[in-house]
Structure 1
């Protein structure tokens, strides 16, 4: 066939027989794969392929026996074949050998078919021979397939006898063709059921590279307007799976492989992370691969991990007192100089510590969204100052941009002066490329959280930056504000189909923002 051929490799117009060395045998073989050159012509390569593969399989079988002897164990066949497949393989090799002999001028001196040998083969097919006579008759052929890794049946077992009888049948058929050919008839075909009904060996599909599959998936998602960070967050998931499997062929991954990987991850990673990031990523990737005819089955579909219900010992948002403590510390923050009086802290980090907390407090935005703000994202719309949270500046979880009115207290504290004095580009990180800005904002977020912990301003059990989102939701409920508008401000998705009708205008958002009370920052010095 013109498609992918099992074990055949084409590299720059030259063909090779190729066999991957099993991982446990690589220390013995010294290679990850074995190759044998077959030349530049495909037709010639196809004729040479079976013999070349047999030689390569023999090398692996030798390594396997060496490994087995060191472990004192018997390993299963590496390339198992059914008895009828062994029979048809033997038959085809005998016919090919007959073709080769007839091209040799010495062939005419060979004798006729041995009638006693034929009678013994017929007795073998009928099952009338004991194990010793079968061994003498076709035992050498059985061992040849054992060396190739196709057989692991023990001599004398039912399976071994079935294989031996199938080989007797194949040998009889081959001898029948030899007799026919001696009479000039080269049209003969097998007539015995084991050979007629033998299941053909299927061509092995081309491997599906896990890395290439992921890159294509990210490309498709990015083109559709998703995954603005290029899949950076999920890429370690793919690398983790590849390392665990020991190979990169997504086609060979089974449900059992994924469950074993999951159980291994749980030794190091929380159940929540395994379920929400690792397994979720693989399920989504496999679903896309099936939808796009890259894989035939979604083996990840039902591989899941239960998440323990979070046990909270307090509210997830800051209390009034806790919020005041952070905002006061933020407002008066001054960097600590080194012993030589130099300020080593970057100006954007200083600005983040001074302004990010209060911007989060009055917007409920994600800390990464605030730390990605650019000078151009703060502008005046009518008589209102607005900050625009947009994927143009970096990663935005909801995907779309949103405008958030700036609370009057932030303006009164001089935020606009800071914006006007800043250079074009990000206000709170030093990167200008949106993809790098997202990573820079993430690192800045980690620095901010570390600083809050160092100041002992974060109570146990709270996420230092995310707690502002919880707090704003609580404030909005206490004030009886429209939660659809609050969701639009915070970038939360709508929960009801009717919420998708109409738009949440800047006027509506401003009404909610203005309802939030100012912080009495003078209460704590």
Structure 2
């Protein structure tokens, strides 16, 4: 700075050190001649920085040995950072019209050479470059105690950087701006890459669900899988998807196995997480997929009998369904809802002759039953709740269903769902699943379901077996049950009502006489 024709070196004191220094800035006189002042400036600034460094040590004497570095850098990285700062500062000075050219202090250059060669004492190193070391300490890049081998290594590395920077300054004064560091310490050094922004695991999950629902999947908006991400976040103790490793997921899997079955862990928890991270990686939200190979072996299910109901079991269930009477309390009041009573009466026989999923039947509405010509048809549609296949299908009704009085029941029903009391279409799927579970529980409590059998899927297995025994075209059977085709050619053409009716009509009636 220039004050009344005299030049001064000026250095602002950091706010947290002003109490210790007693001033807001430090100055050192450089004389009235500008050329001489520029020559003396680097040495004067070094002395002022040394005073600040001493104040830092006095203000926090234990800091150098106790507190860990927040952003630790290797000596070469510290040197490279300092070199880049000095070159940037030189660029800034040359943009100032008052800076026509400078002078390199030859005495300073010699001291730097002596420091690089290891000929300076700790005190001399501190006076020469100590303030620079403390600047990096304040930034959290080092914890080396002054006078230690590590501290000397860092100080000498900074001298290398200062020497190289002064070399570039001298070259630039001659018009050469192409110079690069020549010392191996700087040539081989690389600064750490900037830490990438965190990726919220919760936000990632929400975006994944949105993408899946937009594409026509996850009709429940991910509610079934929500506990999976909640469990993972709780285990991790953080919400940054970038910091999730394969080891984290393996440890989480092992913890889940303490409470859940291997099948649940594999088919629900790990499956959901693999899908999430695969989507995140494919959409460039994460640089890699840590869940790609995280799996859990599960015991192969061994059957002790057929998967579907036998003839006798099917007849017993349909008889119990046909004669079902709700229980009443001592006062003669029936506590069971009409929808539950109707479900137990009609859902089993509808499943027996359609091979549909029970939840697809419990979500049926009055408007899903229609007549075409002389044929009664039910439409299984996602409009009524949810469907695994995602698109509607029409299924002709078997003659025995009509003869049992199902059409009369439909005609007497109010518009909307017939087997649950849902009023909000957004809740139809959940209501249907709840009724599905009630029907299954009732059958098990009545002792009509053999041990180890799934009461709701046994009808689907039985329907497929019956169709095979009748020699039915499996493509038509899949169209009735809503199973995906096995080959690309299965997707060509439609399975008509006529074709479906031939299979349905070939199924024999059940003898339900008491």
> Partners in 2 of 1:157 and 1:336 — Cα distance?
88
Equivalences, count: 441
Structure 2 distance, partners of 1:358, 1:154, is 84
Matched, 1:513 2:504: yes
Q: How far apart, CA to CA, are the structure 2 residues paired with 1:473 and 1:83?
A: 73
8 Å Cα contact 1:375/1:424 also seen in 2: yes
**CA distance 1:135–1:488, shift in 2 (3 Å):** farther
Residue 405 of structure 1 and its aligned partner are, at CA, apart by: 0.9
**Residues 263 and 179 of structure 1, relative CA distance in 2, 3 Å threshold:** same
Name which one, 1 or 2, has greater alpha-carbon Rg: 2
Sort the Cα spacing of 1:91 and 1:484 in 2 relative to 1 into closer, same or farther, 3 A.
same
> Over aligned residue pairs, what C-alpha RMSD do you find?
4.1
Report if aligned partners of 2:168, 2:180 keep a CA contact under 8 Å in 1. Answer: no
The answer (yes or no) to whether the contact 2:168–2:179 under 8 Å persists in 1 is: no
Distance in 2 of aligned mates of 1:253 and 1:148: 28
Between 1:378-387 and 1:200-209, the stretch displaced more is: 200-209
Q: Distance in 2 between matches of 1:147 and 1:260?
A: 38
**Cα distance in 2 between the residues matched to 1:140 and 1:169:** 15
Are 2:513 and 1:522 aligned?
A: yes
Structure 1 unaligned runs (5+)?
A: 1-58, 67-74, 100-111
Q: Secondary structure at the match of 1:238?
A: helix
Q: Distance in 2 between matches of 1:463 and 1:368?
A: 14
Partners in 2 of 1:65 and 1:340 — Cα distance?
Answer: 79
Instruction: Name the counterpart of 1:278.
Output: 269
Q: Equivalent residues in 2 for 1:361-372 (5 A)?
A: 361-372=352-363
Is the CA contact 1:228–1:435 (under 8 Å) kept in the aligned structure 2?
no
Shift of residue 511, structure 1, vs aligned partner: 1.0
Contact 1:313 1:461 in 2 (8 A): no
Cα shift at 1:420: 1.3
Which whole-Å CA distance do the structure 2 matches of 1:366 and 1:283 have between them?
27
2:366 is the counterpart of 1:375: yes
User: Please, which of 70, 73, 86 is the counterpart of residue 81 of structure 1?
Assistant: 73
Aligned to 1:31: none
Pair 1:118–1:269, CA change in 2 (3 A):
farther
1:465-504 equivalence runs, <5 A: 465-504=456-495
C-alpha contact 1:83 1:162 (8 A) present in aligned 2: yes
Q: CA deviation at 1:429?
A: 1.4
**Correspondence for 1:425:** 416
Which residue in the other structure is 2:260 paired with?
A: 269
SS of residue paired to 1:521: coil
d(CA) in 1 for partners of 2:127 and 2:310? 89
Could you tell me how far 1:387 is from its partner in structure 2? 0.9
**For the residues of structure 1 that align with 2:255 and 2:207, how far apart are their CA atoms?**
27
Q: CA deviation at 1:263?
A: 2.5
Q: Could you tell me how far apart the structure 2 residues matched to 1:210 and 1:173 are?
A: 46
Return the match for 2:327 from 290, 313, 336.
336
- Is 1:406 the counterpart of 2:406? The answer is no
Structure 1 residues 293 and 405 mapped into 2: Cα distance closer, same or farther (>3 Å)?
same
Query: 1:96-111 residue pairs with structure 2 within 5 A?
Result: none
